Structure 1
Amino acid sequence: MKTHHSDSAKKPPPPTKPKPKMNTNEKEPLQVYCRLRPLKNLNDTCVVHKINDQLLELSPPGQPKQFYKYTKVFDTKYDQHSVFKQTAFSLVKDLIDGQNGLLFSYGVTSSGKTYTITGSPQNPGIVPRTLDTIFNTLNKNGLQNIRYGFKPNNQNGFEIVSAPDAILKMQNEVIYATPNKNPRTPRKRDAYDWENRVQEEMFIKDINCDNKYSVFVSYVEVYNNFIYDLLDDQLETNKCSKRIVEDTQKRYYVQGAKEIEVKSSQEAFELCIKGMKRRRIGTTKLNNESSRSHSVFNIRLVQAPLDIEGVEVIDDSSLIRVSQLSIVDLAGCERTSRTQATGNRLREASNINNSLLTLRQCFDVLRENQKSNGNKIVPYRDNKLTHMFKSYFEGDGKVEMIICVNPGLEDYDETLHVCKFGEASQDLVTNRGSPFKRTPLRPISNFFIASSINIGPPLPNNYIEDPSDNETLKNWIMALEKRAENHEQNRIIVDEYQQNVRQTIFELNQNNTLMEQQNSVLKMDLVARENQLREYENKFSHMKREYEDTINRMQHQIDELQQELSTVNHRLATTEIEKSNLRNEFRHYKRSTKECWKSEFKRLQKHFMEKVQEAESQMEKKIATNQEKLQLLRTIINNEDDLEFIRPPWMSPLKSKPDTEIEQATTTNAAATIDVRSPPVVNPRHRRSLSTDDAKWIEHRPPGTMNLGTVFQPNITSKRKKSVTNLKTSDFVGKSNEIASKYALTHHAATETGGVETKVYKGDVLPSITGGSQVIFNDVEKLVQFPCESDEANITIRKNRKRLAEMFDRMTTTTTSSSARSTPTVTTATSSEQSEMITLPTTISSSNYRNGGGVGNNTPTKRKKYLQQ
């Protein structure tokens, strides 16, 4: 077992310098979209299926299914417009807001990457639709700056050019333009089709109208790890590669690449088509027009705030905001065994695969650094493609990727790697760029200033192209003079605006001071939370060490238990062998003793049958004698009306010994039966008029009810009385004036002293909601009848009853104990059971009323119970 004394005594490493923490609210994951192209041949096997909008399934024949999740999955039902709207439209919005973006397509060769990026004239791709959306937004709000209002400074930045200089440059361009000496040839078919392509009509609604905008485009390619400018007219004669440099803002760009200003989407896309024609395209076995290089189309939007009058751009280059959107069409990864490339094609394929491999390696290292907070060096410089977009991968803009997939079986191996790379890339997190803030020099919108300040007539739209054109010059002079007249009036209005702005700035400063105070409080809270976090980290490290110690200790115990288990298994195997031997010995012993058991069983069976026959003959004689005695006793008891006359000589009170216990109990009972209650109180509810009214009564006397001949008798004098023995439903049903409303039930019961108790239960008959009737009892009349005898007679009767019961028990017990085997003629039971089987006649019947309104059930009393009373 390992010990940890050396680890605990080991000096802990020095703490590393904490990295600057970034705001997690400004982070966002890399968005990965998946697009499925149609099958090349309808007879091909489809192994890639869309499960839902985010789940993709790969199900090759004979292999387990695999699932991959993406931001969005586009199948063949989605057209180019839908793909652009859900992928690149958000990047265009960020571009207008002054933020950077990167979109690149990734996939195997002939999987639809170029079609997604460029498209066709009838179905334009992402690039033409992006250009249309940008210029739709600028032209709708009239926010385009004049041509040459901005110019590149050859250091990845721009400078502001004054309006007169820009106009002069436009005039020189017209004057010194070299005429085309060669006659124009008819346009090619594809160029004509692109001029008549489908236009995208979408635009951005939220745009800062206090700025002027200009659009610049550039187009480069990475071929065999060299960068070439596709918009350079000398590319075909002088193929000079470009290099990547870093600007003052730590952004990387291609030095010397042309950035051309465009004023319409058509002009911009013509440059894109021009560069596409110069791009390296080759023929392979898998694709006739296979891209042999990675192309990067850059759209740069330059914006600067307007002056206080909202007419011209403020001449301050520090206020310029430049945002860039790079759309990359990566060459497809391919296997040389399938393309059968040789020579230059083999070299191109090798460079393409190396660049894509470097891209995957960069993503893996970035993802690992972000998860473990590591400092591994990302190999950006291993390839020009990753070196160019280093700033994007490190958080300078939003990154999106579209992986294009061919669902056919022949590309399954390459498609599997593409899907894995796309799903893993979603773990990469980039920083959200800060939005472009409005300059404080122009806090009022153009519309509000234009409605308050009268600038004057607009400047003429035409320019002086001919030195002899005096009319145009006169128009310019008149417009400028008119504007000079309104300058003083506008100055007063501007002063008022400035005063309002100062007041606004003062209020903002107060709010800023308050925010700073709150910020200091939050910083203190942050420090406290960081200290708490360090304590938790220390506790976690301590718990981790304890956990490791516990794991090692448990592992040692597991090893010991496994050794014990092996020993037990060995013993168990030995026991099984012994058990098998014992089982064989038992079978042999069983066979040897079976014959002995059979012979012994026959001998004992014969002897037992002889004993049984002898016992049965003796039992039959005893049972016959007992039956005669029982029959005599039944005859004596059934022929007597009262127990008072059953007095044999041996039961005479003069000859019998005094029974102290019975006398004492009888005396106590006699004393207890003395009625010491007070005279009854008259209750109005028991008045006689209740049974003599005009209501209809049903007098229910169940079968077995006797006329005892007592002086007091139940008497219902109502004329509408109906006496019944067996109660029926028809007794309660009839016409409304014939339905019974009263019910009386007569019931007899025996008392403890041998008398008779008569009870009359009275109640009201009420109709039920189901159409029947129900009886609610509300009164009971009780009549008790008992003999008037002396205490001595009662004691004698009780003694005789006790002795008669004892005699009866002795007789039945003798019958039971004489034999333990039953016969068909005698029933063997206990003394109490046999006594209850003898039913004596009685003159008292009991009625048990159940379920309101039911009929009584007369049950004879048991003689044994009567004797025991």
Structure 2
Amino acid sequence: MKSARSKPPTSARKPTNRTRFVVNNNMQSKDPVQVYCRIRPMQFPSDTSCMKVISDTTIVITPPESATNFRSTTSKEIQTIFSRVFPPDVSQRELFNIAALPLVENLIQGRNSLLFTYGVTGSGKTYTMTGESQDSGIMPRSLDVIFNSIANYQAKKFVFKPDKLNGFDVQSETDAMLDRQNELHAGLTTPRHGKMRTRKADSDSDSNPMILRAAEESQVIQVDPDNVYAVFVTYVEIYNNSVYDLLEEEDVRAKTLQSKIVREDGNKNMYVHAVTEVEVKSTEEAFEVFQKGQRRRRVAHTALNAESSRSHSVFTIRLVQAPLDCEGEQAIQDKRVVCISQLSLVDLAGSERTNRTKNTGQRLREAGNINNSLMTLRSCLEILRENQTQGTNKMVPYRDSKLTHLFKNYFDGEGQVRMIVCVNPRSDDYDETIQVMKFAEMTQEVQVARPTPIKLDLGFTPGRRQANKIFKEARSRLEKDGKPEAADLEVDLGLVYSLGGPFPELEVAHPHSDQIITTLMHFLEQRINKRNILRADLQQKQTDFRKMLLSMENENISMKVENASLKASHAQQKKKVSALEGHLCKTEAQIDSLLRKLNNANDTIRSLQQELRDRDMALNQRIIDKQRVKQKYNHKIQAETDKMNRELEMKLRAQREHLQNQMKDKEDKLRLVKKILVDDNGLSTLSGEQKESIPVLPSEGGDILNIRTPGGIDVRSRRDKVAVSNHRYRRSQSADRWIDHRPGALVPVDTVLQPLMRRRRSITKLTSPKEITDGASRYCLIAQNHDSEGELETKLYKADIVPTSGGGAQVVFNDVECLKQMSPTGNRKRSGPVSSQSTPYLNSEQCHTAESNSKKPRV
């Protein structure tokens, strides 16, 4: 990796006096390592806390009685000061804005930064670094801010390409497009395990838990609009003091990941050799890469944490930026002008005690390596602090651990370093927590050189990207307006003729101040390069100016010739104009006459329209008169109709009265019949058919029942014994049962209107009195014959069955129904008056007569 600020060559530095130079060199400003403390919320209400926050920077720790050195401790309270203390209820956003956002600003400005989380197992380090789906941590929020800031200034993919030596090459647009096509072709089908499957299927099968997270859209950092940017990410883990690439493509033959080597590049910066570096274009793409490596990271279950990290993870974000050319379109293809800065986010594995985690076997070996690497980190920082504060020159053991060896250039060179200490306030974790606090206090005393990046000023005009964009938009508008010559226009933004700022301070306060000479060398090299660029640009502009003068002279001559020809054509056009003016005057006179004719025609049209309206009104009046006459005749017709209806009603009333008189005569005859039936000496005879249809039944006392119907039909009876009705008998109307006596009929009576008999028993012949007296209370005799007109007439003789005093029964007829069936095809007159000799009924209707008297005819 090429840092933003190059270091002096090895020959210009003396290793024996390097530390003394850092101490005594006042020309280079330094900053202490900033340490922040985050307190995890209590997991269980029964837990007791040994910490108390008394200010934004101070924590007071009270040792519990279960502490190891509780009795030997002289002071019961320990006070620790940090750059900032975050209480348990602090939000992820607030922690990011205070602790990590300045490091993202350094990254965009070309400076290197390092942020790592430190603490015991289960103190919340991974949550602070990664977060959850709805509450992102430092890493996803940092990516959001980066891509929000460079959203409109990103270079196309593969414009910047890693050179495998911690640097980047700048490719042309053609080469970058070729690489993009190769990647697209390779992404369609990827061989794996001997089969071909698409990468889309792989991506669909991988779950992404951060898809629904809330992005940091409001955080934006100002960037240089005349640069192009690209973001590359790497993800490695340090497991058992070995470095593994978590983004390395899977190899079928290799069952485990291969260990990587930590090397030093040409600028004395440490990097992981042959590590997979992925170019990403959005936060989602970067987080997918992170999730891919996270699935390979080694975690295990311990007694203190269900998912304990068994390795140190290092997620590095590298921002590559290069200036645009003088036209503001493409990046300059020169590695010397490329500025590379990186932000390393380190999630350290938790320090732990084996007697509490109960680890054995592989877990015990992992815990030992974790504790050894953390002890090496602590030893390196302690020696650095001693060298800086006491002026000693002790050798810092960076190589004792891969963790310290990888970040050697941060502590021994330049770069801003910050640490977030995560602690669990439970009293049970006091012994581990107090060791973490001591390490944090010691870390704050280490001084790190402030990064001072020096970007090569090429003298190009600021704002050339935007100017070129505006120029292209104006040229496209001119081409749309029909000016094809606008396509030949070119923009020349030129260079700013300045050799840069003033010379740096040259005061030498120590004989070993090699850094001042190195800085001066870089400054002079930049001035010389810029002078050469400006001189070449001046010569090119002079040549272009001479060519422009020659072209303008030739254009002037051609314009004079064209001017003379235009004057001649102008004179001819003038004559044509005068002729056209005369023709115009004649045309105007014709137009005036046509306007007068048009006005007259309009007047005629208006008069005709008025006449048409008058005729329409007259026509409407006639229609109204017709409606009135029609209504008048309708009233007359209605009056005549009402008069006829009244006359018809009078006739119907007279006919109804005549029929009622006839019915009255019939009733008088029925009364006479009843009187005859009451008389014991009265005898009558029946016709032949009627005598056969009326039953003659013996009573239970040996008597013969003599029945006389209300229509004048006599029934024989014996005179020796007469049945007397039982006057105490009361018949229940709800318990009526009918005897439906139907002798052989001429036609079925089912085709005519039937009488209402709810409970009945039908018989065709009476053989015993018990058929009448057995549970029945009503009797109905049906007889059929032809009337005088030949129509079928059915008569229903209805009677009550009354028990007698002697234990027998008598049948009392009290109702007659006459049903007549008439041929629907007959042409005889049906509406004539009813004869006095016939049964009282209307044609085609049911005739019903009922005799109700206190003295009913008896049999």
Q: TM-score range by the shorter chain?
A: 0.5 to 0.7
Check conservation: 2:80, 2:441, Cα contact below 8 A: yes
On the 8 A contact 1:210/1:442 being kept in 2, the answer is no
Matched, 1:374 2:392: yes
Q: How does 1:138-217 map to 2 (within 5 A)?
A: 138-139=150-151, 142-179=152-189, 191-217=207-233
Deviation at 1:527, TM superposition (A): 8.6
Deviations 1:667-687 (A, max 9, x none): xxxxxxxxxxxxxxxxxxxxx
How far the C-alpha of 1:22 sits from its partner, in A, is 3.0
Whether 1:266 aligns to 2:274 is no
Following superposition, the deviation at residue 202 of structure 1 comes to: 3.9
1:191/1:81 CA distance change after superposition, 3 Å: farther
Which is worse superposed, 116-125 or 58-67?
Answer: 58-67
Q: Which position in structure 2 is the counterpart of 1:593?
A: none
Question: Could you tell me which residue of structure 1 aligns to residue 263 of structure 2?
Answer: 245
- For residues 191-210 of structure 1, the C-alpha deviation after alignment (integer angstroms, 9 at most, x for no partner) is 34311112112434321111
Hey, what's the Cα distance between the residues in 2 that align with 1:192 and 1:278? 15
Match 2:142 to one of 130, 136, 139: 130
State the Cα RMSD in Å. 2.9
Q: 1:251/1:96 Cα in 2 relative to 1: closer, same or farther (>3 Å)?
A: same
Question: Does the C-alpha gap of structure 1 residues 311 and 56 become closer, same or farther in structure 2, counting only changes over 3 Å?
Answer: same
Partner of 1:36 in structure 2? 39
What does residue range 828-867 of structure 1 map to in structure 2 within 5 Å? none
Q: Is the 8 A contact 2:64 2:427 kept in 1?
A: no
1:100-115 counterparts in 2 under 5 A? 100-115=112-127
Name structure 1 gaps, 5 residues minimum. Answer: 1-14, 459-477, 531-869
Task: Kindly provide the CA deviation profile for residues 234-255 of structure 1, in whole angstroms up to 9, marking residues without a partner as x.
Answer: 2773421001000000000000
Corresponding letter in the other structure for 1:19: F
Percent identity, aligned pairs only, is 44
2:149 touches 2:222 (CA, 8 Å); kept in 1? no
Letter in 1 for 2:265: D
Q: Which one is further off, 229-238 or 109-118? A: 229-238
Matched, 1:313 2:331: yes
User: Is residue 41–residue 89 contact of structure 2 (8 Å, CA) maintained in 1?
Assistant: no
Q: Check the 8 A contact 2:475/2:487 in 1, yes or no.
A: no
1:737 matched residue in structure 2: none
* Contact 2:107 2:113 (C-alpha < 8 Å) held by counterparts: yes
| Residue 120 (1) aligns with residue 145 (2) | no
Larger displacement relative to structure 2 (440-449 or 287-296): 440-449
Please say if residues 112 and 415 of structure 2, whose CA atoms lie closer than 8 Å, have aligned partners that are also in contact. Answer: yes
Listed as ranges, the matches of 1:728-739 within 5 Å are none
Call closer, same or farther: CA 1:371–1:121 in 2, change over 3 Å.
Answer: same
2: CA distance, partners of 1:270 / 1:332: 25
Distance across 2 between alignment mates of 1:452 and 1:257:
42
Measure how far apart 1:394 and its partner are.
Answer: 1.1
> What is the letter of the counterpart of residue 40 of structure 1?
Q
Task: Find the residue that maps to 2:394 and give its secondary structure.
Answer: coil
Determine which of 358, 363, 370 is the counterpart of 1:345: 363
1:78 pairs with one of 77, 82, 90: 90
| Local SS of the residue matching 1:67 | strand
Alpha carbons 1:457, 1:483 under 8 Å: kept? no
Partner Cα distance (1:49, 1:89) in 2 = 27
Give the number of equivalent residue pairs.
Answer: 474
- CA 1:186–1:437 in structure 2 vs 1: closer, same or farther (change >3 Å)? closer
CA positional deviation for 1:446: 3.0
Corresponding residue for residue 773 of structure 1 = none
User: Which residues in structure 2 correspond to 1:701-720 (within 5 Å)?
Assistant: none
Task: Report what 2:21 is aligned to.
Answer: 19
Alignment check: 8 A CA contact 1:395 1:432 kept = no
Distance, in Å, in 2 between the alignment partners of 1:487 and 1:298 is 46
Equivalent pair of 1:108/1:405 in contact (CA under 8 Å):
yes
8 Å contact 1:93–1:204 — kept in the other structure? no
Contact 1:305/1:442 (<8 A) preserved: no
- Aligned pair in 2 of structure 1 residues 190, 78: CA closer, same or farther (>3 Å)? farther
Distance in 2, matches of 1:435 and 1:177, equals: 38
1:437-456 pair list within 5 angstroms: 437=455, 439-446=457-464, 449-450=467-468, 453-454=471-472
Report the TM-score when normalising by structure 1: 0.52
* SS of corresponding position for 1:402: strand
C-alpha contact 1:102 1:327 (8 A) present in aligned 2: yes
State TM-score, norm by structure 2: 0.52
Q: CA distance change for structure 1 residues 75 and 307 in 2, over 3 Å: closer, same or farther?
A: same
Q: Provide the rounded CA distance (Å) in 2 between the counterparts of 1:311 and 1:138.
A: 16
Residue 254 in structure 1 maps to residue 256 in structure 2: no
1:287-436 equivalences under 5 Å are 287-436=305-454
Partner SS for 1:403? strand
Deviation of the 1:483 alpha carbon: 12
- Displacement after TM superposition at 1:52 (Å): 0.7
Supply the distance in 2 between the matched residues of 1:251 and 1:159 (Cα, whole angstroms): 18
1:406-442 Cα deviation digits (max 9, x unpaired): 0001110000000111011100000011134362242
Cα deviation digits, residues 567-602 of structure 1 (max 9, x gap): xxxxxxxxxxxxxxxxxxxxxxxxxxxxxxxxxxxx
Contact 2:312 2:348 (C-alpha < 8 Å) held by counterparts: yes
* Residue aligned with 2:63, SS: coil
Q: Distance in 1 between the 2:294 and 2:475 partners?
A: 45
CA 1:222–1:267: 2 relative to 1, 3 Å: same
| Higher-Rg member (1/2) | 2
Amino acid at match of 1:446: R
Pair 1:59–1:154, CA change in 2 (3 A): same
CA separation of 1:186 and 1:280: change in aligned 2, threshold 3 A: closer
User: What amino acid is the match of 1:219?
Assistant: Y
User: Residue 193 and residue 424 in structure 1: after superposition, are their counterparts in 2 closer, same or farther (change >3 A)?
Assistant: same
Question: How far has the Cα of 1:395 moved from its partner?
Answer: 3.0
How far does residue 393 in structure 1 lie from its aligned partner after superposition?
Answer: 0.9
Aligned residues of 1:310 and 1:446 also touching (Cα < 8 A):
yes
Query: Structure 2 CA distance, aligned partners of 1:255 and 1:165?
Result: 25
**Distance verdict in 2 for CA 1:484–1:285, change over 3 Å:** farther
Q: Which amino acid aligns with 1:144?
A: Q
**Equivalent in the alignment of 2:722:** none
Q: Give the letter for the 2:435 counterpart.
A: H
**1:222 counterpart residue number:** 238
Letter in 2 for 1:131: L
- In the TM superposition, 1:769-848 aligns within 5 A as none
Local SS of the residue matching 1:81: helix
Equivalent-residue separation in structure 2 for 1:16 and 1:148 (angstroms): 43
> Is residue 454–residue 486 contact of structure 1 (8 Å, CA) maintained in 2?
no
Name the SS for the 1:85 alignment partner. helix
Letter in 2 for 1:200: E
Secondary structure at 1:195 match in 2: coil
Give the counterpart letter for 1:138 in structure 2: I
Q: Does 1:93 align with 2:111?
A: no
Residue 150 of structure 2: SS of its match in structure 1?
helix
Does the CA-based 8 Å contact 1:46-1:409 persist in structure 2? yes
**CA 1:486–1:431 in structure 2 vs 1: closer, same or farther (change >3 Å)?**
farther
- Contact conserved, 2:226 with 2:465, CA < 8 A, in 1? no
List gaps (5 residues or longer) in structure 2. 1-15, 71-75, 191-195, 514-859
